[in-house]
Structure 1
């Protein structure tokens, strides 16, 4: 009869799995371009000034800008939502708070995954903006201004990344109603931030689509890396969109040493 491995005997295997987790996270960030193929195709269409996409960008920007200018109250709401509620700094602070909770609960590897994913999102978004160097919309009598280049939308990419990260780490501790509420809040935030950026005239629709695609692709790639670590250590690999990445979080927090 085979005796179960003791904790000291498990440590080398866990260390090896942890090293592979780090390697997988780096590989996922480097190779997420495969998952970002739709964003790359969108960029090709943007650079080629594809007429249907150009009409969509120009038409949405013009109509929404005119509508917002005619409703000052709505403009104030959009500014608060874009610059405070869904600002990238706000989103990153929420993600940082989640990382802090994960560290307190000793979910070290999940905290590493969340921090690495959000950090990579900011760096990749900045790098793509600098490489593409697309100008922002130049509308008559603009209602808002934003610095830097336009593609992809940093607000949209950050919202997609951070909302997905927050969902995947919080689903295990939520009941059915809480999960539905979390999904609703995430979808409203991601869609809403895209709408506000176009309505304020600081991004094209294609900028927002590019941000959503890149953010989603990055989370998918790094989540794959984390699921591989669970598989290496003999843990169950849950359905992440239903149960999150680490179902064990549903249990009580471990006692402190």
Structure 2
């Protein structure tokens, strides 16, 4: 039988865990809010053709375009990365395969989160493009072409949401010592996607920045919703660095509400 001291310590640990979880939950909400505000501000600057941003966009586009014209092999490598390796269809297909595996593992809610995050990022990006209707860079002797409007970059949005899905889903299966390098690789890929789109002359810098911010906002919102579901159903409180569902490494990732 537990003594009063032991019960008091247990209660203190639970309250501390509750406070840490509340802080993480509020942190996700704050990140989503900040990202949404940042995206709205950037959208306003783009729509208003703010001159400092316009100068930054044009300077980056022309300098990278000149480099691309002088280094055709480098440009061919960028096109391979942009059109094949990091293409939205490639990343979304990878998410679809991951979702199928999650369904096989009966991780229903985690699979739903992966789909909702990826689809929401794509749909919101398309909506923003249709509202802004920003033209893509018109460069002399272009090295690449892309259809549709420019802001925000669909490649950047998709890369942000998809690589976040990969890491937040698969983190429990990665040894702790390897998680930081994996996050670094994911961040490098997201940044690389943006660089290739600017260097190929199919996006302005602000398009890519807008895509990153939009993707981050979508991920933060869906993570907040998933974390809220976990606490409502009585699951263990764990840091996001361990993945959205650390139980994925177990035989039954989602045995049922209120069973943990």
* TM-score in terms of structure 1 length: 0.84
Give unpaired runs (5+ residues) of structure 2: 1-28, 254-260
1:71 match: 71
Q: Is the 8 A contact 1:35 1:221 kept in 2?
A: no
1:37 match: 37
Q: CA deviation at 1:145?
A: 0.5
Q: How does 1:18-167 map to 2 (within 5 A)?
A: 35-167=35-167
| C-alpha distance in structure 1 between counterparts of 2:122 and 2:77, whole Å | 26
**Could you list the runs of 4 or more consecutive aligned residues of structure 1 that deviate by over 4 angstroms after TM superposition?**
32-35
| Deviation string, structure 1 residues 20-67 (Cα, Å, up to 9, x no partner) | xxxxxxxx9xxx677411011001111111121111100000000000
Residues 1:93 and 1:178: Cα distance change in structure 2 (over 3 Å): farther
2:179 match: 179
| C-alpha distance in structure 1 between counterparts of 2:73 and 2:177, whole Å | 33
Q: CA deviation at 1:250?
A: 2.1
1:245 match: 244
| C-alpha distance in structure 1 between counterparts of 2:33 and 2:231, whole Å | 24
Is residue 222 of structure 1 aligned with residue 222 of structure 2?
yes
| C-alpha distance in structure 1 between counterparts of 2:237 and 2:206, whole Å | 35
1:197 match: 197
Residues 1:117 and 1:191: Cα distance change in structure 2 (over 3 Å): same
| C-alpha distance in structure 2 between counterparts of 1:95 and 1:48, whole Å | 36
| Deviation string, structure 1 residues 129-149 (Cα, Å, up to 9, x no partner) | 001100000011111110000
Q: Count how many residue pairs are aligned between Structure 1 and Structure 2.
A: 224
Please report the RMSD computed on the Cα atoms of aligned residues, expressed in angstroms.
1.7
